[in-house]
Structure 1
Amino acid sequence: MPHMAIEYSANLDAAVDMDGLCALVADTMLETGLFEIGAIRVRAFRAQSYAIADRLPQNGFIDMNLRIGKGRSAEEKKSAGEAIFAAVSARLAELFATPHFALSLEIREIDAELSWKKNAIHPRLRGK
């Protein structure tokens, strides 16, 4: 259950290909070897209203929240986070060349007793 929610300021619409960013994140998650392809979900949400730092209109943000199921070591979670953050940082290098951009990533584990799922995609991808 690796689900990545990417929230971003609306002023980044012209600067960032969000479909491409979502694909990059999904590919990077898969490349870690920690997540099954049928479980990966990446989605982006545009924040129309926001106030960032000193409120200059050029200020923008991308906030990534990755929810995962339990069962991975602290080292594995850290390695996955570093891989995702590095890939996204590299993709957004032009934004970091300005003094108006902030990027964040947080990984949270889901309590299995309080999470319900039903997935018809897994059997297809597993060939069963």
Structure 2
Amino acid sequence: MPHLVVLYTPNLEARTNLGFLCRSLADAMLGVMDEAGRQVFPTGGTRVLAFPAAHYAVADGKRDYAFMYLNLRMGAGRSDMVKKAAGDVLLHTVQRHFAPIFEQSLIGITVQVDESPGQVYDAKHSNIHPLFQTP
């Protein structure tokens, strides 16, 4: 963890480069620091996954509305300041990304940060993490 899952209306695909947005969001997450100036999210565990909705309805349906929902899920134990900083940087990144088309398109954006308290099972299997561990 952390995992950022992005759900969006497929009418956004023709309007912007969503692959570039995913990379920008991952880079923004990697830049989040804690109160001591340490990187909050491990490089090898940072993931951004984006999925278009197969079916959707937005508002009254009378216009070509678009919507994007970003849900950051992180493990428990981080301070409220870190959680807010993570949410703020994600919102700022997506706002900056959509700024060129925001004046021409009707887009709703929601960013939500969730913490996973009380996990009953959390297994990981990866050969990515060791690439970013310093000896």
Match of 1:10 in 2: 10
Match of 1:71 in 2: 77
1:11-54: per-residue Cα shift (whole Å, max 9, x none)?
11111211000000000000112111001010110113100001
Answering whether residue 55 of structure 2 is matched by residue 46 of structure 1, we say no
Query: For this pair of structures, how many residues does the alignment match?
Result: 128
Answering whether residue 130 of structure 2 is matched by residue 123 of structure 1, we say yes
Q: Cα 1:66–1:81, aligned 2, differ >3 Å: closer, same or farther?
A: same
Match of 1:107 in 2: 113
Match of 1:97 in 2: 103
How large is the RMSD of aligned CA atoms in angstroms?
1.6
1:110 Cα offset (Å):
1.6
2 CA distance for matches of 1:61 and 1:95?
13
Match of 1:81 in 2: 87
Match of 1:56 in 2: 62
5+ residue gaps in structure 1? Answer: none
2 CA distance for matches of 1:115 and 1:45?
23
What TM-score does the superposition give when structure 2 sets the normalisation length?
0.87
Give the conservation status (yes or no) of the 8 Å contact 1:69–1:110.
Answer: yes
What TM-score does the superposition give when structure 1 sets the normalisation length?
0.91
Q: Which moved more, 1:110-119 or 1:20-29?
A: 110-119
Q: Helix, strand or coil for the counterpart of 2:120?
A: helix
